[in-house]
């Protein structure tokens, strides 16, 4: 049993922390962002800074120019990056690109990697992941997928509608998941600048931390050559799992950073703000909330580290990543909610960064499997004994 | 003991419910509103409709053209009005006007009533209430007030800065609270269109349900004639209590309506949306959340009715209104948070009204006394035995 | 809407409160009780005192010698009686007798009333209610009942095993519920002193507030004359509902009294006990817990009053009594648990009455429908829309 | 970062697990135990079994005949031992002996070790730790200590009253903490069989897992030779901290085992017991509770392991052990409470072991610093920034 970081991990942690403090936090009020997220221009600016600091796309393999981080390494770096809402954008480790990179490193062909993966890792383009559908399609239950891929010679013709497609607007390419006529699902790669891909509209999401926001995307008989199938035909649901277990863990990591930020902002405020004759923090009603924050942050960090270690050992981490997703999304949320409460008026407005974290984070309990779906999966494992 | 409504209450309840359904809900996506709230034009439109239906400013005394509602009457009508985020605007029962009307009916002079109260009740102007200050001024602890009113002949000269002043932009007049040199506080009435009143900026608040949003207001040596003192000099803190106990209860009422709305939207969705082979509502994980919603709504409604009845009996309701504030702000929040969770993607975006309610409601646990301040007051009463 | 008590209710409330304080609380450490509950001798002593004060079996009809209390009346009196763990025994309003009296008043024949109901109301005998069975029989799901009643001429022959039969040891008679060969259920009345009724053993329950404890009862071909069927043949499940909705509400009432007791004991302690330089109650960490107690007691009381009023109006109160059961059993439990925590060492031992209340109350979230079954019922109603 | 166990740890884990399953669980219903705990005879029997399996007092140094376990080793072994309420008694790792052994290994003289520590480690005698006092003495706040030690030549004369002294009845010796005239505190060693030590009575505690129960102990001018001072004069409060941080962590470990037991009993039941047409576990309302149990057990285990590792690195672990105490005592309690709920009638009675665990565990949130005191300590550290 060993909870210590290696010197290399400590070094990377400190470098990332400094980068976020020096280069990213000063840009948090940059005007090049709106209700849908940071603009491409702001993103490019941030990415250039991370590149200059050798911190861009650190989770990619060394072969492709990344730092080849293990899951535990990622836990350490991504938490630091998450300390600013703009940090994951800067390091190119945000959803959905982070998970797409991971998946493509596993299953893409060399030609696919050269064409799509490399510029993605280099931060030159963005990608999106087209799986979720509006009712009555595939939401929490992927088996309800309605988007259809019909084979036509050496092409597939994709028809359907997806929504909440993060980063669709402005993305260079998409991974599209569609159901085959035999019920299995397949993933396809497709450039976004095709007439058969229509971004119908931007969704008015509560969060604003993803470049490109979240779009509704329609596939109007998109023709995809068989060469652009990602991995094997019919393996879409399995790949979604390959992508999801680690991808949801990286959400836990990034949001841990933001929860820690909220806690530190609230702690600073509580030390300075007077009320009823003493600093807020000396009121037990406030101090106990901050103590609970520290315990929730501790819980989240330990659950992440443990699951990351399981994945590094080669485990699939189904149970561990479900537990980590629920524990982190709920514990980190409680931290942010308490921080809002302590900050009072500043917490519910742009006067502090915490209101933004609050709005950004709420969806975390929903995406990549809502808490209820993960509890259900755990319960099914328990039922089997 | 009697929990029944009178025929008059039932009639008013039904009329309000119909008005909200027929006239207000259809305007919820009206473009005349932005991140700060409904525009004046939209407000005027809504107010005109309520006027036409005989539902405008129903809490005002009959003498001034209202319906002379008791506190229990208000509990019934305001819940219905709150069913839409635009309902309280339409009925002219929103903060801060609602509380200002109540206070002015109690303590304003006939001349003050004619000049400011009557057009406020008639829906022709809006008002604001300038009490809260940025740190290190008066927040949860009003005794820390820094805005100063210095007597100068038959005038008072007010200097200071207030923030989170709801509805300041566009308000016709303000009630301004300031500290006297002897430490006591006084309330003043003042038209807003004076050069010594400067709205420095709009705050980027999480909510968007108040016309005029929330502003930072500076008083640059504002001269107020002694005739425009509201009530007696030095009684400001006492009047704030007169205003606050019922005012915070009306928040409970309006938000109850919105929590009920969120619950009904989520229930409808859960009945229709399929996942894993059956409607969401038939999954206990979802159905139990809806059951908890119903219990929380029940708790909130009973606490409101009870406190309203205490006020109607002539009680000050300090303890009861503190309990109701905490119970409602927390129970109603749980309802909305669960509803967001059930709605999933729709719950965290503009695809349903619930995300808007979620963002609008968070501040309710903070304003008019955060939960912690009310728990503290209750604890002090318990300490006295 | 009216939350006031009538003069008669106030009088009864005060008389009960005084009786509990003067006559019952002094006997709480009477040696005539053990881990299974108060002995028959102690019970008889307490009952005699209530009789002398005109408070015995107050919920029975006036015709049978009670006070003919409405449900709201009961809410007031039973809360006061519940202030001592011995109070419900003294007033003869404890489970299962309270519910049995209610049911028998509704459906028993005059002969049955003369033979069993009258002495029960007079406090001369006790009764038990034999419904719950050990696995795999009827627990939360009554439809799984295995005890069988087979018609044999003008008799029924009952065979089966029941458990957690409160008050079985020492009871004068039982209401026995059994399944007929056609699947319907019937209730039977039977004297307990018959060889075919065997009390196999006492269960080692966590509570110790019921005279007679909880037993395992076996029916070895018990022959019951058709005249001793309670109500109509085949109506057992319906009668169980007739009995249950008000019966579970009376649990809420009695436990409310005990929760209030725990809160008051903890409040007194917190006012007196010093730690870290001030009385416990002045530590917000303790004071806030006491404030939460008051809100939980308020929630419970309002839910009870409302449901009692619904029943008094002739409603069946299915939804309301389910809500009240869950709300009260959970809110009252939180009160007692917090009181234990505040009392510290005294709270987890016989040094205060609160440890006893804690152990007595835990089962309340389980019996008469566990929280989960009531949430499930509520969810089914919501599912129907 | 490494969460794996060494082969030696795995071996010890398995041996302990087997020992508990084969030798200890079969004795859980042994009649040689009552409401105060296992008798000396039962304890001796259990201790002999552990000795025979080489598992007795494993935390003692090898020098004194133990296995010289590290804190992480203890985490693994003590969880296994805690799986049965009798396990810690068998292994001689229960409070207060476990903590006393740890402290005496640190600060006792060779003579003291030979006379008291060695027979304690060998399981031949038991000890008690006399610190806590009844109000208005030292409870959560040790600075309020009233027991006095007055120097008289080369002796100290101790006068005062202690309560909740675990294991006092039957203990061979005590560590007694008393205040000096100068306000500092000192620890003394004293054989229990002296006339000046009077066990006034046994406390009627909710738990029944400690041999000897909890007593009220009076010191009537007990004369202690200066040679029997434990460690240095005046260092009592510091030693109490030396003893407490690891001692409270061992509570977390042992109770983790019991919480896991409760969870497994409830899981087995939920898989077998049918209700409403399917096994309980397939009802999400139950399955989600079991999933929450697994997350709470995971949280507790990780917090223990982390803190144990910090202690093994030579850290004092003040903050970590406070966090672990609160996190474990609350998470493990939730597990046991949910398990009771799932088990229903069996959960609130002797029909399952879980009711016993429930009653045994409640005090864990109180002793060795109630949750509130630890939150307060954490808040003070946060206040310092």
| pLDDT tens, position by position, A8-28 | 999 999 999 999 999 999 999
pLDDT digits (tens, 9 = 90+) for D192-208: 999 999 999 999 999 99
Question: CA of C350: which chain D residue's CA is closest?
Answer: D204
| CA B147 – CA B216 distance, rounded (Å) | 13
The DSSP output letter for A303 is: H
Average pLDDT over residues B47-70: 98
- ∠ Cα B51 B53 B59 (to 5°): 65
Query: Cα distance from B283 to chain C (closest Cα, Å)?
Result: 9
CA D279 to CA D267: how far, in whole Å?
11
Beta-carbon separation of A135 and B272 below 8 A: yes
The sign one gets for the Cα dihedral C9, C15, C18, C23 is negative
Chain A CA closest to residue B343: A366
pLDDT band at B283 (very low <50, low <70, confident <90, very high): very high
Angle at the Cα of D370 (from D365 to D375), degrees rounded to 5?
A: 115
CB D109, CB D225: distance < 8 Å: no
The ipTM value here is 0.97
Contacts of D283 in chain B (CB under 8 A): 284
Tokens linked to B274: 């399929």
Indicate the SS3 state at residue B219: strand
Residue to mutate among A143, A270, A285, A348, with most B CBs inside 10 A, is A348
CB-nearest to C327 from B284, B295, B306 is B295
What string of pLDDT tens digits covers the 385 residues of chain C? 999 999 999 999 999 999 999 999 999 999 999 999 999 999 999 999 999 999 999 999 999 999 999 999 999 999 999 999 999 999 999 999 999 999 999 999 999 999 999 999 999 999 999 999 999 999 989 899 999 999 999 999 999 999 999 999 999 999 999 999 999 999 999 999 999 999 999 999 999 999 999 999 999 999 999 999 999 999 999 999 888 888 999 999 999 999 999 999 999 999 999 999 999 999 999 999 999 999 999 999 999 999 999 999 999 999 999 999 999 999 999 999 999 999 999 999 999 999 999 999 999 999 999 999 999 999 999 999 8
Residue D338 with chain B: CB contacts under 8 Å: none
Kindly report the nearest CA distance between residue B112 and chain A, in angstroms.
31
Task: Name the minimum distance, in Å, from the CA of A276 to any CA of chain B.
Answer: 6
| B neighbour chains, 3+ CB pairs within 8 Å | A, C, D
Shortest CA distance from C137: residue in chain D = D274
Given an 8 Å threshold on Cβ–Cβ distance, is C327 in contact with B5?
no
Q: What are phi and psi of C51, to 5 degrees?
A: -60, -45
Which chains reach chain C with 3 or more Cβ–Cβ distances below 8 angstroms? A, B, D
CB contact under 8 A, D205 and C349: yes
Interface of C with B (CB under 8 A): 1-5, 72, 267-268, 270-271, 279, 281-282, 284, 286-288, 290-292, 294-295, 298-299, 302-303, 305-306, 308-310, 313, 323, 326-327, 372, 374-376, 378-380, 382-383, 385
Helix axes D236-272, D97-107, angle to 10 degrees: 150
Percentage of chain A surpassing pLDDT 90?
97
Q: Chain-centre distance of CA C179, in angstroms?
A: 25
Residue D210 CA to its chain's centroid (Å): 9
Closest Cα in chain D, distance from residue C163 (Å)? 9
Helix (H, G, I), strand (E, B) or coil at A73: helix
* Contact between residue B77 and residue B92 where contact means Cβ atoms under 8 Å apart: no
Backbone angles phi, psi at A149, to 5 degrees: -120, 115
The residues facing D229 across adjacent strands are D188
Nearest neighbour of A274 by CB, restricted to B136, B349, B370? B136
For B303, B335, C312, C337, D337, the CA distances from C329, given in Å and listed in that order, are 18, 20, 22, 12, 14
Q: Which helix (H) or strand (E) holds A149?
A: strand A148-152
Cα gap D261→D294, rounded to integer Å: 12
Q: Is the pTM of this model over 0.90?
A: yes
SS3 of chain C: helix, strand, coil, percent, to 5: 55, 15, 30
Q: Domains along chain B?
A: 7-94 (1.10.540.10), 127-234 (2.40.110.10), 237-384 (1.20.140.10)
Give the chain C residue nearest D135 (alpha carbons).
C273
Share of chain C above pLDDT 90, in %: 97
Chain D nearest C-alpha distance from B288 (Å):
7
In chain D, residues with a C-beta closer than 8 Å to the C-beta of C344 are 139-140, 366, 370
**pLDDT (mean) for B359-368:** 97
3-state DSSP assignment of residue B150 = strand
Element (H, E) at C219: strand C214-225
Burial code (b: 16+ CB inside 10 Å, e: under 16) for A172-196 equals: ebbbbbbbbeeeebbbbbbebeeee
Strands D127-130 and D173-179: parallel
Range D44-60 average pLDDT: 98
Task: Name the minimum distance, in Å, from the CA of B86 to any CA of chain C.
Answer: 26
| pLDDT for position B241 | 87
Best CA proximity match to C103, nearest among C287, C277, C247, C311:
C247
Which DSSP category does B205 fall into?
A: B
């Amino acid at each position: 049993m060993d909870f210590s970081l290696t010197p290399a991990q400590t070094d990377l942690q400190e470098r990332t922390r400094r980068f976020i403090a020096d280069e990213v936090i000063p840009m948090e009020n940059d005007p090049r962002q709106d209700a849908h997220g940071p603009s491409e221009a702001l993103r490019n600016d941030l990415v250039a800074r991370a590149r200059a600091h050798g911190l861009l796309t650190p989770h990619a393999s060394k072969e492709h120019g990344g730092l080849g981080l293990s899951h535990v390494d990622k836990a350490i770096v991504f938490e630091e990056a998450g300390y600013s809402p703009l940090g994951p954008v800067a390091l190119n480790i945000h959803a959905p690109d982070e998970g797409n990179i991971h998946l493509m490193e596993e299953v893409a062909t060399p030609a696919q990697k050269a064409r799509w993966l490399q510029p993605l890792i280099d931060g030159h383009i963005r990608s999106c992941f087209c799986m979720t559908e509006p009712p009555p399609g595939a939401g929490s239950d992927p088996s309800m997928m309605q988007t259809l891929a019909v084979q036509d010679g050496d092409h597939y013709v994709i028809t359907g509608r997806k929504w909440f497609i993060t980063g669709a607007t402005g993305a260079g390419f998409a991974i599209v998941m569609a159901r085959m006529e035999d019920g299995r699902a397949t993933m396809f790669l497709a450039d976004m600048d095709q007439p058969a891909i229509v971004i119908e509209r931007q969704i008015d999401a509560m969060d604003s931390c993803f470049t490109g926001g979240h779009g509704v995307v329609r596939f109007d008989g998109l023709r995809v050559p068989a060469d652009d199938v990602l991995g094997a035909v019919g393996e879409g649901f399995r790949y979604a799992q390959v992508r999801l277990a680690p991808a949801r863990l990286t959400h836990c990591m990034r949001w841990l950073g933001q929860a820690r930020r909220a806690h530190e902002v609230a702690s600073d405020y509580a030390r300075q703000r007077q009320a009823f004759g003493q600093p807020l923090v000396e009121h037990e009603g406030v101090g106990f909330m901050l103590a609970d924050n520290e315990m929730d942050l501790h819980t989240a960090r330990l659950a992440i580290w443990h699951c990351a270690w399981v994945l590094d050992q080669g485990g699939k981490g189904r149970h561990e990543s479900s537990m980590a997703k629920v524990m982190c999304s709920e514990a980190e949320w409680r931290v942010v909610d308490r921080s809002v409460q302590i900050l009072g008026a500043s917490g519910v407005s742009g006067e502090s960064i915490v209101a933004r974290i609050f709005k950004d984070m709420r969806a975390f309990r929903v995406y990549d499997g809502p808490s209820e779906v993960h509890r259900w999966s755990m319960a099914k494992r328990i039922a089997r004994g």
